[in-house]
Amino acid sequence: MLLAAAAMIAQDAPVPHSPGAQFQTKKNLADLQECLTRTMSDFGEVAALSVDENSTTLLIRDNPAGPMVIEVTPPTVTVTTQFIPGTRDLVRHCV
């Protein structure tokens, strides 16, 4: 009986909401990095890590809401963490 009750509770539990979002873009890497760095700098220190010439990872840190990570790999821009409040529309504007 306990197993049946546990199974029912697990079925009714809400599915955790997935943080972040993915956007499609036609902009190039340099333009995306410049816009995102400029706009996100109002929310914290922006650190960029380039793994190769076709991608960059931006880390926005020193924000009370926590860090935010943006993977920039045109034609895709992915926020892999939760958005810092007030940044979703700014990212959408840049892409």
Q: Which CATH number goes with the domain that contains 73? A: 3.30.310
Structural domain span for residue 85: 19-94
Asked whether residue 75 is assigned to any structural domain, the reply reads: yes
Are 57 and 33 a contacting pair, CB within 8 Å? no
Binned at pLDDT 50, 70 and 90, residue 13 comes out as: very low
Q: Render pLDDT for 47-85 as a digit per residue (tens, 0 to 9).
A: 999 989 999 999 999 999 999 999 999 999 999 999 999
CB atoms within 10 A of CB 53: 7
Asked whether residue 7 is assigned to any structural domain, the reply reads: no
CA–CA gap between residue 79 and residue 91 (Å, rounded)? 9
Q: Residue 16: is its pLDDT beyond 90? A: no
Asked whether residue 37 is assigned to any structural domain, the reply reads: yes
Asked whether residue 8 is assigned to any structural domain, the reply reads: no
Give residue 75's pLDDT: 97
Asked whether residue 5 is assigned to any structural domain, the reply reads: no
Asked whether residue 1 is assigned to any structural domain, the reply reads: no
Q: Is the pTM of this model over 0.85?
A: no
- Using CA atoms of 89, 53, 51, 69 in order, give the dihedral in degrees to the nearest 10: 0
Q: Residue 38: is its pLDDT beyond 60? A: yes
Q: How many domains does the chain have?
A: 1
